[in-house]
Amino acid sequence: MLFDREASDTVLGWNQRFQIALGVAKGLAYLHSECLEWIIHCDMKPENILLDKDSEPKITDFGLAKLLNRDGSDANLSRIRGTRGYMAPEWVSSLPLTEKVDVYSYGVMLLELVKGVRISEWVIHGVKFADMDTRMVVKAIHEKMGTGDQERWVKDLIDHRLHGEFNHVQAKAMLKIAVSCLEEDRGRRPNMSSVLQALMSAEDEAR
């Protein structure tokens, strides 16, 4: 897991973080549109991502998972609840849910992979987001991106424990993808197949 207390002294290297992001994206894309029965996980969070002996990420805990309507209509899942901090805005509004709730949760996890801490522990412009207000984090990242100095804002948002040992192309892609996944309007969020394609393109570009 990303936040394994028993391995708190171990810092994941950049390549492993990127491969986790890529592997989880592959898994969600499969669940949402490729497997025999389309599935919404409904509780995506770091605790539900386990690494096997080869450090390949595996999506676990399908206790809240529901089948997705193949005709594209919303699933009537408003009574179930995910985990605070990873729940899309439509959970609170009690709207029928779609696979975009998983996309939102994935966006949160992507930011946490990049920074190496829970989103509630992010500090940007000297402000700590202890209240788990993801919107404030996204707004602050947008402001960073707006400076135009890509090398600077990417470096500022990366886990300092990596000591600069990360791939700039991949990091920039992960941050931009995360922000798009965290759109308040679910209609503006990408699907996981698009996310996967963007990550694979970043992987190819970084070679």
Query: Residue 124: enclosing H or E segment and its boundaries?
Result: strand 123-124
pLDDT tens for 74-112 read 555 555 567 888 999 988 787 788 999 999 999 999 999
- What pLDDT score does 8 carry? 57
- The reply to whether the predicted model has a pTM over 0.85 is yes
**All domains of the chain, ordered by start, with CATH?**
5-206 (1.10.510.10)
Joined tokens for residue 128: 């700590």
Joined tokens for residue 29: 């894309």
* Least confident stretch, 87-96, 109-118, 171-180: 87-96
pLDDT tens for 128-143 read 655 547 888 888 888 8
Can you list the pairs that 83-91 forms with residues at least 24 positions away whose Cβ atoms lie under 8 Å? 83/43, 83/45, 84/132, 85/45, 85/118, 85/119, 85/120, 85/132, 85/134, 86/43, 86/44, 86/45, 88/186, 89/184, 89/186, 90/186
Catalytic residue among 4, 9, 43, 133: 43
Buried b (16+ CB within 10 A) or exposed e, 27-36: bbbbbbeeee
Residue with tokens 């931009």: 176
43 is catalytic: yes
